Structure 1
Amino acid sequence: MLTDEYIKRVYDQVVARDGDQPEFLQAVREVFETLQPVVEKHPEYEKAGVLERIVEPERTIKFRVAWVDDEGKVQVNRGYRIQFNSAIGPYKGGLRFHPTVTESVVKFLGFEQILKNSLTTLPMGGGKGGSDFNPKGKSDAEVMRFCQAFMTELSRHIGQFTDVPAGDINVGGREIGYLFGQYKRIRDEYSGVLTGKGLEFGGSLARTEATGYGVCYYTQEALRVLRNDSFEGKTVVISGSGNVATYAAQKAEQLGAKVVTVSDSNGYIYDPNGINVEVVKQIKEVERGRIKEYAERVPGSEYHEGSKGVWTVKGDIALPCATQNEVDGESAQKLVDNGVTVVVEGANMPSTPEAIEVYQKNGVLYGPAKAANAGGVAVSGLEMSQNSYRLSWTFEEVDAKLKSIMEEIVANSLAAAKEYGHEGDLMLGANAAGFVKVANAMVAQGVL
C-alpha cells in the first residue's frame, strides 16, 4: 500500500500520464511501495522533486526501422531507446528484439535499470531499448539488414560517453556484431559503444556467462548470510533456456546443486538426472532450435507442453530466468506447495505483485531481479573499463570481480534494509540502496 502522501501524489501523476503502460506502472509501484521509509527519512528528496524526475525519462526515442527481407519485400518495425537517467553515468542497458516490445516494456526495463546499475557500484545510468522485430525464423542476412537499419537511426543518439547499449532477449553475439559493424561504418570510429561484443573486437571474457553466474553468486551469498546454507545438495527449478538460464544452470551445478528443468515459450523439460547444459547450449545457441528437442536426445528426460508447468515441479530453489510476469500468484503458490523456499530472479520482473506477496507470506527467501540479475550489466561495465584501457582481463579476473560485485550487492541491500527498519528484506534493501545513490546525485547536480 502507498501511504506516504508525496509518493501517492507522484504515483497518481504517473498513472494519469502513462495509464496505458501496465508494465511500467507495475515497476514504478513496486519500487514506490518499498521507498516509503526512505522518503520519510529524506525530506530533501521531495523538495528537489526527485521522484517526479526519476519516473520521467530524460529522453524517449521512437523510430521506424525499414528493411528488406530475402524475398525483396520491405518490412517495417518500430525501434525504441529510452534514455532514462544519467545522474551517475552514461545510459546503460540492453536492446531487446521481440514481438512483445512496446514503449511500456522498454520503460519498465529502463526504470529498473536505473537502480540495477546503481547497485553494481559502477558509474552507469539507466537506459533500455529494442524493437518489435523477431529474429526467430529469419536468415542471417535478414537479421544483418535489420540490425544495420536499426543502428543507422540509433547511432545518432548513442556513444561511449553518452549511451552504451548491450544485448537482451534475442540480441546475442550475432546481433551485437552486426550492430557494432554498422556503428563503426557510420561514425568512422572504433569505440566501446556496445557491450557484449565478440572477443575479437573488444568483448570481455565471462560476459556471456555473467548474468546466469551472477544470479547464482547472489543466491549463494544470500543463503550463506541469511540461512547459513548453500546450493550444495539442493534441487533447482529454472525457467528459460536462453543465455541467463543456461549459465545459471551451469553455475548452480558447479556449486553442488541439481538443476531439473529448463523451458521456452512452448513448454518445459524435466530431467530428473539433472539438466545437461551442453545439450541445451547446442540446441539453443548453435542450432537456434526448440527446447523440446532436448527430450529427443537425452534419455530419461520429459518434455511437457505449456511453459507455466515448470512451476509445478518439486524443488528447493527456483530461478525464474525467462521473461517478465512469468510467475503469477497461482504459480508462486505451487512453488511453495512443492517445497521451494528460495526464489531468486534471473529475468527482469518475472514475478507479479501477487507472486511476491505469496513469497513474503510464506517466508520465502526472495531475491529481486534488479539485484540478482545485475551480473550481466556489471560485466558490461567491466567491458567498458577494458575498452577504455585498451586491454583485456582474464576470465578468472572478470569472474572474481563479478562474484565480488554480487556479494557486495547482497551486503548493501541488507544494510539498507536494516537502516530503514526492514531487516532481512532483500527487495526493500535493493530498492533503497540503489535509489539513494541516484537520488543524492540528482540533488547534487541541480534541477535537470
Structure 2
Amino acid sequence: MGRSLATIDIEQRVQEIYNEVVRKNPAEPEFHQAVREVFFSIIPLLKKNPIYLEEKLLERIVEPERQIVFRVPWVDDKGEIHVNRGFRIEFNSALGPYKGGLRFHPSVNFGVIKFLGFEQIFKNSLTDLPIGGAKGGADFDPKGKSDKEIMLFCQSFMTELYRHLGENTDVPAGDIGVGSREIGYLFGQYKRITNKFEAGVITGKGLRYGGSAVRTEATGYGLVFFVDEMLKTINETFEGKTCVVSGSGNVAIYTVEKIHQLGGKVIAVSDSDGYIYDKEGIDLDLLKQLKEVERRRVKDYIPYHKHAIYKPNGNIWEIPCDIALPCATQNELDENDAEMLVKNGVIAIAEGANMPCTPAAIRVFEKAKVLFGPGKAANGGGVATSALEMEQNAGKTRWDFEYTENKLKKIMQGIFRRCSQAAIEYGFPNNYIVGANIEGFKKVADAMIEQGIV
C-alpha cells in the first residue's frame, strides 16, 4: 500500500535537512549520529504538526546559538608549558539559561562537544525545569596530573570562559574528568576574576560553598529511578536482579549504590583497562575507596577479594545479567554486544552515559522487545539536580539529602511518564527513544516559535 504524498514529502524533507547537516559539519560523526536519531524519530510529530518544518525548526535547532573555542596555556610541575584547546557550545536558550557540563578528556573535540550539547537540549527539556542546553570542555587529561597542575589548568581555562558565564546566562557543571576538585578550582578563579561570590554560576560545588546534597549521586541514582519505572511496566523490580554496570566513575558508583539499596546485585564494573567480575556482588565501600579516595584502577579490587575475576581488555557485556547499564562513554556497546546480552536473557538496558549504545545495538534491543532507556531521559538526574542546586543558590537556602533525593525521584518519574505518554500518543508504545525525542523537541520548538526568529 503506497504512502501519501504528504508523508513522502515530510520524510524526504527530513532526509534533505539531515544531509545538509552532515555537509555543513564534516568529520563530526557523533554529532551526525545524535542529529539523525532525533530527526528521524520525531517524524510522527512532524506529520501531525507540519508547522515545525514550515518554521524551519530543524534547521534552527541544529545550529548552536554560540560556539566558543579558545587556547588554554598552563605550566606543569617541571616548568614545561602546555597548550590545550577549550570549548563551550551554547546550543539553545529557549527554555532558560544554558546548562550543561564540562568534560576534560583527550577525546574531546568539536564534534564530541556538539553532540553532547545537542543531546543536552532535549535532556534538559525533559526535566521540565527552566534550563537550556550547552556543553563544554577541553582536550586535557587530568589523569596522572598533580593537584597543582590541575588547579593551574582550571584557572587558565576559567580565565577565558568566565566572560561567557552568568547565573542567568550560562551555568556549567561537571562531566567526565571534572569532579568536585575541578569545580572548586574553576569557581575559585571565577570569583577571583569577577570579585563576586555568584554561587549560581556553576554547579557541582562543595557543600561548604553552595553545593547541593545528592549532586554527587544524582546521575546514578536518577538512572536507577528511571529503570525502576521501566521495570514496573512488566511487573518487575530490581529485587533479586543481577546487573552489570560499565564504568567505575561517579555515575557507575552511585548506580551500583542505588541498585544495592533496591535489592539488586551488581556483579561487574569496568574501566578503560578491563573489568572485574564479582559473583557475590561488587563491594561498594572498596570501590569507592579505590576510585574516589585513592584514584586507582579497578584491577586493584582483586587483592582484597581473591574470588573476584579481573579481565584486562575484557568485554563486560559478555557477562550474563538481567539488567545492563552502560555508564562509561559514547558508542561503547555495539551490535555484537547487544546480541550477546539478548542471548543471555537481559530484560532491560538504560544509558547512564551519553549515547553509549550504537544505533545497530539499539535496533537489536528493539527487535528483541527488551526495555531500553535512552540517555537523554535515563541519565537526566545529574542535570536535574544541578538545576535544583541553582534553585537553592537563587533562594540562598540549602535542602537536606532526603528532601533533595525525593525531588530527584519525582523528576525522574516525571521524565519517564512524559516519555511514555508521548510514545503512546504518537503510536509507539514502550518506545522511550521516540517518546523522549518527541517530548523533548516539542517543548523547545514551541518555545522557539513563541519567541520569534532569534
Q: Which residue of 1 aligns with 2:343?
A: 337
Q: Which residue of 2 aligns with 1:407?
A: 413
Q: Which residue of 2 aligns with 1:229?
A: 236
Q: Which residue of 2 aligns with 1:79?
A: 86
Q: Which residue of 1 aligns with 2:333?
A: 327
Distance in 2 of aligned mates of 1:232 and 1:2: 48
Contact 1:327 1:351 in 2 (8 A): yes
Contact 2:108 2:139 in 1 (8 A): yes
- Mapping of residues 247-286 of structure 1, within 5 Å: 247-286=254-293
Distance in 1 of aligned mates of 2:430 and 2:10: 22
Q: Structure 1 residues 297, 2: CA separation in 2 closer, same or farther (over 3 Å shift)?
A: farther
Distance in 2 of aligned mates of 1:277 and 1:176: 25
Q: Which residue of 2 aligns with 1:156?
A: 163
Are residue 352 (structure 1) and residue 358 (structure 2) matched? yes
Counterpart amino acid of residue 71 in structure 1: K
Are residue 419 (structure 1) and residue 419 (structure 2) matched? no
Counterpart amino acid of residue 164 in structure 2: H
Counterpart amino acid of residue 417 in structure 2: A
Q: Which residue of 2 aligns with 1:146?
A: 153
Q: Which residue of 2 aligns with 1:196?
A: 204
Q: Structure 1 residues 131, 188: CA separation in 2 closer, same or farther (over 3 Å shift)?
A: same
Contact 2:102 2:136 in 1 (8 A): yes
1:304 to 311, 316, 323: 311
Are residue 59 (structure 1) and residue 78 (structure 2) matched? no
Shift in Å, 1:323: 0.4
Q: Which residue of 1 aligns with 2:446?
A: 440
Q: Which residue of 2 aligns with 1:69?
A: 76
Shift in Å, 1:19: 2.3
SS at match of 1:9: helix
2:391 to 379, 385, 388: 385
Shift in Å, 1:33: 1.5
Distance in 2 of aligned mates of 1:228 and 1:411: 16
Structure 2, unaligned stretches of length 5 or more? Answer: 1-7
Contact 1:312 1:331 in 2 (8 A): yes
Shift in Å, 1:383: 0.1
Counterpart amino acid of residue 401 in structure 2: F
Contact 1:2 1:32 in 2 (8 A): no
Q: Which residue of 2 aligns with 1:371?
A: 377
Contact 2:329 2:354 in 1 (8 A): yes
2:177 to 167, 170, 192: 170
Shift in Å, 1:2: 11
Contact 2:184 2:205 in 1 (8 A): yes
Q: Which residue of 2 aligns with 1:215?
A: 223
Counterpart amino acid of residue 374 in structure 1: G
Contact 2:10 2:47 in 1 (8 A): no
Counterpart amino acid of residue 370 in structure 1: K
Show structure 1 runs of 4+ deviating over 6 A. none
The share of aligned pairs that are identical, in percent, is 58
Distance in 1 of aligned mates of 2:348 and 2:338: 11
Distance in 1 of aligned mates of 2:61 and 2:342: 35
Contact 1:212 1:346 in 2 (8 A): yes
Distance in 2 of aligned mates of 1:409 and 1:2: 32
Distance in 2 of aligned mates of 1:121 and 1:64: 35
Shift in Å, 1:6: 2.5
Q: Which residue of 2 aligns with 1:205?
A: 213
Contact 1:2 1:33 in 2 (8 A): no
Counterpart amino acid of residue 7 in structure 1: V
Are residue 19 (structure 1) and residue 26 (structure 2) matched? yes
SS at match of 1:27: helix
Counterpart amino acid of residue 117 in structure 1: N
- Mapping of residues 32-43 of structure 1, within 5 Å: 32-43=39-50
Question: Aligned residues, how many?
Answer: 446
Cα displacement string for residues 375-422 of structure 1 (whole angstroms, at most 9, x for unaligned residues): 000000000000000000010010000000101111100110111111
Counterpart amino acid of residue 227 in structure 2: T
Counterpart amino acid of residue 9 in structure 1: E
Cα displacement string for residues 115-140 of structure 1 (whole angstroms, at most 9, x for unaligned residues): 00000000000000000000000000
Counterpart amino acid of residue 138 in structure 1: K
Distance in 2 of aligned mates of 1:53 and 1:330: 36
- Mapping of residues 118-137 of structure 1, within 5 Å: 118-137=125-144
Counterpart amino acid of residue 328 in structure 1: D
SS at match of 2:298: coil
SS at match of 2:178: coil
Counterpart amino acid of residue 6 in structure 1: R
Shift in Å, 1:7: 1.2
Are residue 398 (structure 1) and residue 404 (structure 2) matched? yes
SS at match of 1:121: coil
Structure 1, unaligned stretches of length 5 or more? Answer: none
SS at match of 2:42: helix
Contact 1:342 1:364 in 2 (8 A): yes
Shift in Å, 1:243: 0.3
Are residue 90 (structure 1) and residue 97 (structure 2) matched? yes
Contact 2:422 2:438 in 1 (8 A): yes
Q: Which residue of 2 aligns with 1:431?
A: 437
Shift in Å, 1:3: 6.6
Counterpart amino acid of residue 222 in structure 1: M
Contact 2:34 2:118 in 1 (8 A): yes
Shift in Å, 1:40: 1.1
Counterpart amino acid of residue 203 in structure 2: T
Counterpart amino acid of residue 246 in structure 2: S
Contact 1:2 1:8 in 2 (8 A): no
Contact 2:352 2:378 in 1 (8 A): yes
Shift in Å, 1:429: 0.3
Counterpart amino acid of residue 207 in structure 1: R
